[in-house]
Amino acid sequence: SIASADMDLNQLEAFLTAQTKKQGGITSDQAAVIAKFWKNHRTHIHESLIHQSRWDNVLKNMNWRVDLKSQLRHIDQINTPVAIVEMELGKNGQ
């Protein structure tokens, strides 16, 4: 719950206080250890969760342009914009 919500210190304190007051919850010593661990490793845990939740492929590069048709058989199709998008995908971490 702490990691998925990426809790700040105030949220963490409120959450752990609630957990210590629950029937069968954690002790205040356990809450202190969890708080210290979260304060020291929050950034690493958050980055690890983001890395695990990504798809295999990531967007490496994207090019786009809009073309206008200037010559066609039918006059109603002239100046019709056409968007061309080129996306380069790569494996995550490569």
Rounded-to-integer distance, Cα 66 and Cα 52, Å = 36
Each residue's pLDDT tens digit, 36-58: 999 999 999 988 888 777 777 77
Residue 63's pLDDT is 95
Question: Looking at the predicted structure, is the pLDDT value of residue 92 above 80?
Answer: no
Percent of the chain at pLDDT above 90? 47
Q: Which of 13-17, 20-24, 59-63, 79-83 has the lowest mean pLDDT?
A: 79-83
Locate the domains of the chain by residue range. Answer: 3-53, 58-90
Residue 11's pLDDT is 94
Q: What is the DSSP letter of 76?
A: G
Averaged confidence pLDDT in the chain: 86
Q: What is the DSSP letter of 93?
A: T
Helix ranges (DSSP H) in 6-88 = 9-21, 28-53
